[in-house]
Structure 1
Amino acid sequence: MKLDGLEILHENMKNTGFVRTKFDFRKNGKLFKVIFLTDINPYKLLIGVRSEKFCLPVDVSNSYEIKTSMNNDDYRALIDILGLKYDENNHFKPRYFFEELNSQVPKKVNVNSIVQIHEIAELNPGYEESEKIYFKGWLDNNIRGNNVSPKNLYKTRDCLGEEAYQMCKKYNISSVWTKYRTESKKFYLPEV
């Protein structure tokens, strides 16, 4: 399915220098937070409800196509969040959810669209050490004889971008996170 709303939004993002943006989406009385990441490949949508500890990561091709199928756990969680009941005459299809999301994608970004690193980290409860949402720095695993974990690389890629992910993967570096805002650092790439 093509999300043409994302295509329009992405054009505006390019014109204004944004590579990440956020917006709200409402369905069935629930407020979803949506983050659109275009500095990773494939692009990614993170669709979440913080109060429900739910996040649906969706890969988006560079032609703005997505797969509307979901695994059973995500499907059931989404149905519960939306408050839907089984109706044999009217089955819920994820496509309906994405069609509605597409209709609510804003056409332009503004100052309120700027995404902070911790907003990405706190949206997805599936990240490693999910309570640690603030970037703290880097850990060279070579010094300790360890390897960067796939879960840390996943969080690094989404939260800090493709360049940081590639450097961490190549040089065996882990991103370090904290749950305390006062310990957070301004993002910088690892020194190699």
Structure 2
Amino acid sequence: MQFGIRKFAAAGALALGAGLLLAPSASAEVASPQGCPPDVWYKVVSSGASYEAIGSTAGKYNASPTSAILRYDLTTTKSKQTTWSASLGGSLEFGVGQVESKTQYDVTKSTTSGKTVSNTINVPAKSYGYTTPKIERRKFTIEKWQDTAKCDARFLGNMGTLGGITAYPFFSECTAKSACTPKP
């Protein structure tokens, strides 16, 4: 019987030793942070409009007792260009592309002089009517941003400023009982 006890003791020792050889296994889910890719993107900020004359002011007096539609055919005397002032780089085409893709404005790169433009205005009876051909220019700043690993946005700087021609030709008008200056 002693042989049987030793056999079981040896078998138990082998089983215990085998159990000690096995590495304990544990599973724990470690959440890896879900970061954002470091994408670079551009933002367009508009600073409002200004107007520049591209021709002379024309006017007429409506001497009739009723209102009249007066037509003005004017020749442009000045050429104007969309401007680009780079800070971090880029080109005029880059600035125009950013403005047109991110705003509702179309940008004209340049205008020519010597072009005939026409405008009609309704002038009340016994009044003057004046008009001036102009361009509308808007200032746009193109900002460069980057997404961070924490999904925040980081400002990298201004790419540049675009002085874009957004309306051409634009007509300033005025009507009055005496001479007036077309606005805007």
- TM-score normalised to the size of structure 1? 0.21
Structure richer in strand, relative to its length: 2
Higher helix share: 1
- TM-score (normalizing by structure 2): 0.22
Greater RCO between the two (CA within 8 Å, min separation 6)? 2
